[in-house]
Amino acid sequence: MIISIFAPCFFRLMNKVLVFFCYLFATVATAQINEVGIFLGGSNFVGDVGKENYISPNNLAIGGVYKWNRSPRHAWRASFMYSNLKIDDAKASSSARQERDFSLENTVKELSLGLEFNFFDFDLHDLDFKMTPYVHTGVSYFWYDSMYFVNGRPKKDDLNSSLAIPMTLGLKMRVGYNWVVALETGVRYTFVDDIDGSNPKNDRYEHLKFGNINSNDWYVFSGFTLTYTFGKNPCYCPL
């Protein structure tokens, strides 16, 4: 008798629980779409040596990108970037820099983690054409050579590493069903001032400092990303 009374209530409750978890799974499955691909473009440096332009790529930059689309409006993003920064006073617009005529190269390897925000919905399960501008920021950890100048010649000190803040603006669109192509520019504000050799960290080279020692270095990556998307479509549960 008791079982016949409570059994219908129990089954209705279990049905609601099943519907809830199926809906939750559908929401997560819809959001958790992966992208993996490459970055190809150029790099440039902004500091006390070389050109003053913030976006002026002058050497090859390559990298790998992974994105986890948590929703149609935002994604967690990880990347690894590599480039050899070319820094040359002869390319500057300032006559003082041109006369000084310092030049050097410094290799940068960067690991970055952050959040990408889409201005418009970018649902990769929707078969319609999709395009949106986006912004990205987070934190970067990079490796480089600490530099200094002696009689106008660049010298390498130690291999160093530091943090930087990436700030990226881009435009992306889906190509076909599984591909996304994007054009972006990302500036990196660093917490060091010796990438260009103007403010060496080593106290032994204190007398070799020059330029604005209160302004840190920047470097910039500009180019294309091409990513392949994969992930399960959402499940739909009968109510």
Q: What is the pLDDT of residues 55-65, one digit of tens each?
A: 999 999 999 99
Q: Could you tell me which residues come within 8 angstroms of residue 4 by beta carbon, excluding any fewer than 6 positions away?
A: none
- Specify whether 26 is located in the same domain as 36: no
Does the pLDDT value for residue 237 go beyond 80? no
- Specify whether 60 is located in the same domain as 18: no
- Specify whether 11 is located in the same domain as 117: no
Does the pLDDT value for residue 116 go beyond 70? yes
Does the pLDDT value for residue 31 go beyond 50? no
Q: Is residue 235 part of a domain?
A: no
Does the pLDDT value for residue 132 go beyond 80? yes
Please answer whether residues 44 and 217 qualify as being in contact, where contact means their C-beta atoms are separated by less than 8 angstroms: no
What φ, ψ does residue 98 adopt, rounded to 5°? -60, -40
Please answer whether residues 17 and 225 qualify as being in contact, where contact means their C-beta atoms are separated by less than 8 angstroms: no
- Specify whether 39 is located in the same domain as 23: no
Q: Could you tell me which residues come within 8 angstroms of residue 173 by beta carbon, excluding any fewer than 6 positions away?
A: 129, 130, 131, 132, 180, 181, 182
- Specify whether 87 is located in the same domain as 112: yes
Q: Average model confidence (pLDDT) for the chain?
A: 87
Per-residue pLDDT, 13: 45
- Specify whether 127 is located in the same domain as 161: yes
pTM of the model: 0.82
CATH number of the domain residue 92 falls in? 2.40.160.20
In terms of residue numbers, what domain contains 57?
A: 32-230
- Specify whether 135 is located in the same domain as 171: yes
- Specify whether 40 is located in the same domain as 94: yes
Of the listed ranges 30-44, 49-63, 107-121, 170-184, the one predicted with least confidence: 30-44
Per-residue pLDDT, 17: 42
